[in-house]
Amino acid sequence: MSKERVFATYHIETPYDLEFAAKVMAGEQSTGTFIAVPGETEELKDQHAAKVVSVEELEQVSTPSLPGSKPPKGEVGPIKYRRGKVVLSFPLHNIGPSIPNLLSTVVGNLYELREISGLRLMDLELPIAFLEKYKGPKFGIEGTRKLVNVYNRPLIGTIVKPSIGLTPEDLRKVVRDLAFAGIDFIKDDELNANPPYAPLKERVKAVMEEIDRVADKTGKKAMYAFNITDDIDQLERNYETVVNAGGNCVMVSINSIGLAGVAHLRKFSEVPIHGHRNQWGAMTRDPYLGMEFTAYQKMCRLVGVDHLHCNGINSKFYESNESVIKSVKDCITPMFDGYTAMPVLSSGQWAGTAEVSYKSMDTVDVMHLAGGGIIGHPGGTEAGVKSMIQGWEAAISGISIEEYAKTHVELKQAIDKFSK
Amino acid sequence: MSKERVFATYHIETPYDLEFAAKVMAGEQSTGTFIAVPGETEELKDQHAAKVVSVEELEQVSTPSLPGSKPPKGEVGPIKYRRGKVVLSFPLHNIGPSIPNLLSTVVGNLYELREISGLRLMDLELPIAFLEKYKGPKFGIEGTRKLVNVYNRPLIGTIVKPSIGLTPEDLRKVVRDLAFAGIDFIKDDELNANPPYAPLKERVKAVMEEIDRVADKTGKKAMYAFNITDDIDQLERNYETVVNAGGNCVMVSINSIGLAGVAHLRKFSEVPIHGHRNQWGAMTRDPYLGMEFTAYQKMCRLVGVDHLHCNGINSKFYESNESVIKSVKDCITPMFDGYTAMPVLSSGQWAGTAEVSYKSMDTVDVMHLAGGGIIGHPGGTEAGVKSMIQGWEAAISGISIEEYAKTHVELKQAIDKFSK
């Protein structure tokens, strides 16, 4: 049998000895059972057991992160909850290069063990067989740049607002305005997919007519990410609706259709897949539960996400700027020596967030989305787009935005309205 | 436009006024944006905004459940985190009867709001359009009983152990033994799907040959839930492999293929779908994050899960018995006046857990799975199965198992080995 293995890194918290807890984890997710059964031979264990690769002690705490853990019997005095970094490895031949079965194996029942009071999947290292199977992003950063013909700066984009409720005719006007403004990228809100009051088919028609008309006049065709999130068969029909109308990008809520749904879409999609990560908070906001973005984004990229949402600097969400920066760096760190996804910065963004984004992330390979920051710009949408580009020009040149704003009125207006 | 609405109940925790936090939630998941934008008319809000239906105060705490919340500006003194029950309603026409888009709407970005320090989706009430679209379990309790011809007691089942590593020939022997023992139901472990060392095709062949041979002799055909969890297209091929060999049940890891994956399977599956909920712990173990099982199981049933795992009484996991009991009751509470799924009790189960299960759950409409409790029975597998049935006979008759064991040797042996 193959010697290849999957490596999974966890942070755990346990009232037990860390080594013991790590062994319980390995047993639960491979050959263990609560009572010895016939057929559980040494040879079978040797071939199929998960192995504890390393255990590294971290701090101790006196209060458990999660309820329901059972301390060892006979423990006296106040219970200590030991935190540690645990690496397990699993034989690839237990799983095969299958993301759904990988999830059942590296995550599976671990969060439910009573021996643990906290557990988080931090990172994954996968054999090359996964690359051969899933192929990764079809476009990634390079392919996306080529489609919109924008280089050496971020793609400037926006989310159609209001998020929900525009009729196809209202949407037509919004898109016309944005396309004429010279924007690189527009996306649907994740709340707006194929709603009865404005079916995708009608939205696609209105949007693409406007985008194509502007492209004919200006030579610039904006990329529009249509939210095609839906049941599996409808997903395929929605995709066809988009590409048959000349659409050049589709968006999905990754956690709504599952990684398996994204992998399915990747098989037939001939346009970039814009990945929205709504619902991700449930998987990550408790620091001793769920998953670290580092592990999550690797799986997203593997199944074919070309653009991946990472929140933005000073966003309206709970996430710290440090965490956002780390997420962006994760997405642009090559996987299997290739495979990058374009990180998407959004939420509370405007021209003024370019500087700190560039300084902290040290890249222009991002999509920078502003909703109100563009559409709500006092000089109008075109000025909004210009202000964003100027914000990045300043950042890349190492000039403060206040200084740059002296000769760039749109940036000045943005600062006056949005800076707090 | 339709007046139908989706109702979602949450438990939240917030450093703000509860009413305010509820409004932020409603805005985030419908017509809100961080700055007023053109097109955000009163009429649009009236038609498309989510509404706060009710806010009920619960307790206050001094420590936030989740990191990253930002207390109101100017708050002095120690911060209070207010807990409450919030009901929101969403217009159905924002979403359509689509589970993936329902998730983006009722969950979406809520967990990431910095105005909240805890949020859990507790329950969902869905318009009838969802029933018309998704159809629910094709078999449920009644259909499953009919297939195995077992009435007035739980279905007694087991999980093939060791979980992983048996060759198809080893598996053949295990299944032969179980089928001759008169067991109702056998399932693959969630770790074992279509692994390279024992491809599903070979496993199906070995298993079905044994089950059919025993059925020819004894007239009893055990139901075997083959784990077909995989990528979407492979899922369909795996399904075909099973039914073409005469298989009468398929199993999936629900969270590995997503609810969309299950709904897809439901469209073509002509056998019951056995739903394993591994990875569910990540969604539920933090009481102020993720989802309550009540909400989750409704969606699982809607997309077609016929049997749903609920852990078991005195299991090896962290979950309390109260929670397990509530989960079982959830699954057998009719939805849309129909639609029940058969709850599956497993983990650490043996004949002795029948009594407390029956007393607390007040139903025999469960699948009772024992791994070691059957295969590890000192009298062998057949005695193991008998002991489980005897445990339920005692429970249903209101006789203590100790008393019943006096005249039932298999139960006696089980008590001697497994009771602690």
Whole-number pLDDT of residue A35: 57
Tell me the average pLDDT across B107-113. Answer: 97
Whole-number pLDDT of residue B356: 96
Whether the CB of A237 is below 8 Å from some CB of chain B: the reply is no
Distance in angstroms (rounded) separating the CA atoms of residues B365 and B342: 6
Q: How confident is the model at residue B161 (pLDDT cuts 50, 70, 90)?
A: confident
Q: How far is CA B300 from CA A296, B46, B134, in A?
A: 23, 32, 11
| Pick from B30, B105, B264: CB nearest A232 | B264
Do the Cβ atoms of A31 and B165 come within 8 Å?
yes
Per residue in B268-294, pLDDT (tens digit) is: 999 999 999 999 999 999 999 999 999
Q: Is the pLDDT of residue B164 over 70?
A: yes
Distance in angstroms (rounded) separating the CA atoms of residues A330 and A71: 36
Q: Is the pLDDT of residue B34 over 70?
A: no
Per residue in A118-156, pLDDT (tens digit) is: 999 999 999 999 999 999 999 999 999 999 999 999 999
Query: Kindly report the CA angle at A159 between A153 and A162, in degrees rounded to 5?
Result: 155
Q: How confident is the model at residue A15 (pLDDT cuts 50, 70, 90)?
A: very high
Nearest by Cα to B316 from A356, A257, A70:
A70
Whether the CB of A353 is below 8 Å from some CB of chain B: the reply is no
Q: Give chain A's mean pLDDT.
A: 95
DSSP state of B184: S
Q: How confident is the model at residue B87 (pLDDT cuts 50, 70, 90)?
A: very high
Query: Kindly report the CA angle at A14 between A13 and A19, in degrees rounded to 5?
Result: 100
Nearest by Cα to B30 from B96, B105, B98:
B105
Q: Give chain B's mean pLDDT.
A: 95
Pairing, β B250-253 against β B223-227: parallel
Residue A64 main-chain phi, psi, to 5 deg: -70, 145
Residue B378 main-chain phi, psi, to 5 deg: -60, -25
Report whether the peptide linkage leading into residue A162 is cis, meaning its omega lies within 30 degrees of zero: yes
In B, residues 204-233, which contact A (CB 8 Å cutoff)? 229-233
Whole-number pLDDT of residue A34: 52
Whole-number pLDDT of residue A169: 94
Residue A68 main-chain phi, psi, to 5 deg: 95, 0
Query: Kindly report the CA angle at A410 between A407 and A414, in degrees rounded to 5?
Result: 115
Q: CB contacts < 8 Å between A and B, how many? A: 348
Query: A17 to chain B, minimum CA–CA distance in Å?
Result: 18
Whole-number pLDDT of residue B3: 86
Query: A400 to chain B, minimum CA–CA distance in Å?
Result: 25
Query: A172 to chain B, minimum CA–CA distance in Å?
Result: 12
What percent of chain A is modeled with pLDDT above 90?
90
Whole-number pLDDT of residue A245: 97
Q: Is the pLDDT of residue B39 over 80?
A: no
Q: Are B107 and A282 in contact (CB under 8 A)?
A: yes
Whole-number pLDDT of residue B399: 97
Residue B266 main-chain phi, psi, to 5 deg: -55, -30
DSSP state of A245: T
Per residue in A226-282, pLDDT (tens digit) is: 999 999 999 999 999 999 999 999 999 999 999 999 999 999 999 999 999 999 999
Write out the two tokens for B402.
């100790």
Per residue in A57-75, pLDDT (tens digit) is: 999 999 999 999 999 988 7
Distance in angstroms (rounded) separating the CA atoms of residues B183 and B155: 8
Distant-in-sequence, close-in-space partners of B385: CB < 8 Å, separation ≥ 6: B156, B178, B181, B182, B183, B374
Distance in angstroms (rounded) separating the CA atoms of residues A340 and A316: 26
Q: Are A204 and A241 in contact (CB under 8 A)?
A: yes
| Pick from B67, B69, B260: CB nearest A232 | B260
Q: Is B167 exposed, middle or buried (0-12, 13-18, 19+ CB in 10 A)?
A: middle
Q: How confident is the model at residue A2 (pLDDT cuts 50, 70, 90)?
A: low
Q: Are A255 and B103 in contact (CB under 8 A)?
A: yes
Query: Contacts of residue B347 in chain A, CB cutoff 8 Å?
Result: 34
In which region does residue B127 sit, left (phi positive, over 0), alpha (psi from -120 to 50) or beta (all else)? beta
Whether the CB of A201 is below 8 Å from some CB of chain B: the reply is no
Show the beta-strand stretches assigned E in B239-379.
250-253, 273-276, 307-309, 342-345, 367-369
Of B218 and B31, the structure prediction assigns the larger pLDDT to B218
Q: Is the pLDDT of residue B390 over 90?
A: yes
Query: Contacts of residue A42 in chain B, CB cutoff 8 Å?
Result: none
Q: Is the pLDDT of residue A195 over 90?
A: yes
Whole-number pLDDT of residue B36: 62
> Please, what are the domains in chain B?
5-133 (3.30.70.150), 140-418 (3.20.20.110)
Query: Contacts of residue A100 in chain B, CB cutoff 8 Å?
Result: 193, 229-231, 253, 256-257, 261
Whole-number pLDDT of residue B74: 82
Whole-number pLDDT of residue A31: 84
**To 10 degrees, what angle do helices A254-268 and B232-244 make?**
80
Rounded to a whole number of angstroms, the CA Rg of chain B reads 24
Do the Cβ atoms of B233 and A267 come within 8 Å?
yes
Per residue in B225-257, pLDDT (tens digit) is: 999 999 999 999 999 999 999 999 999 999 999
Is this prediction's pTM over 0.95? yes
Tell me the average pLDDT across B29-57. Answer: 84
Per residue in A282-301, pLDDT (tens digit) is: 999 999 999 999 999 999 99
Distance in angstroms (rounded) separating the CA atoms of residues B331 and B312: 14
Q: Is the pLDDT of residue B63 over 90?
A: yes
Whole-number pLDDT of residue A36: 62
Whether the CB of A32 is below 8 Å from some CB of chain B: the reply is yes
Tell me the average pLDDT across B310-320. Answer: 95
The C-alpha torsion from B65 through B68 and B71 to B72, rounded to 10°, is: -140
Beta bridge partners of B108: none
Q: Is the pLDDT of residue A33 over 90?
A: no
Whole-number pLDDT of residue B35: 57
Tell me the average pLDDT across B330-350. Answer: 93
Give chain A's largest Cα–Cα span.
80
The identity of residue B169, as a single letter, is E
Tell me the average pLDDT across A92-101. Answer: 97
Q: How confident is the model at residue B40 (pLDDT cuts 50, 70, 90)?
A: confident
